[in-house]
């Protein structure tokens, strides 16, 4: 199951509530799976991009600038 994601991955809990959304190119393995669930249990809410950056600061796909909608 380890490797870079080829499409976004939505992780949900047993109630089908979102835990987090992982972007294309994110390296995903069992260790990262455990870290995500541990943080989710601690936080008690869905993980944000900032949470993922804090968990995985070395992950290159999380370093890209955010896309913001044009409000013009």
Residue 48 is assigned to a structural domain of this protein? yes
Residue 69 is assigned to a structural domain of this protein? no
Task: List C-alpha distances in Å: 6 to 9, 32, 39, 59.
Answer: 9, 17, 24, 15
Number of domains comprising the chain: 1
Q: What pLDDT digit, counting tens, does each position of 1-37 carry?
A: 689 999 999 999 999 999 999 999 999 999 999 999 9
Q: Is the dihedral of CA 19, 12, 57, 30 positive or negative?
A: positive
Residue 52 has what pLDDT?
A: 97
Residue 44, domain extent: 3-62
Q: What pLDDT digit, counting tens, does each position of 32-47 carry?
A: 999 999 999 999 999 9
């Amino acid at each position: 199951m380890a490797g870079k994601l080829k499409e976004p991955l939505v992780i949900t809990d047993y109630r089908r509530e979102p835990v987090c959304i992982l972007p294309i190119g994110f390296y995903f393995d069992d260790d990262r799976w455990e870290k995500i669930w541990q943080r989710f249990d601690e936080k008690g809410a869905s993980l944000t991009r900032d949470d993922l950056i804090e968990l995985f600061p070395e992950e290159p796909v999380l370093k890209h600038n955010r896309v913001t909608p044009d409000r013009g």
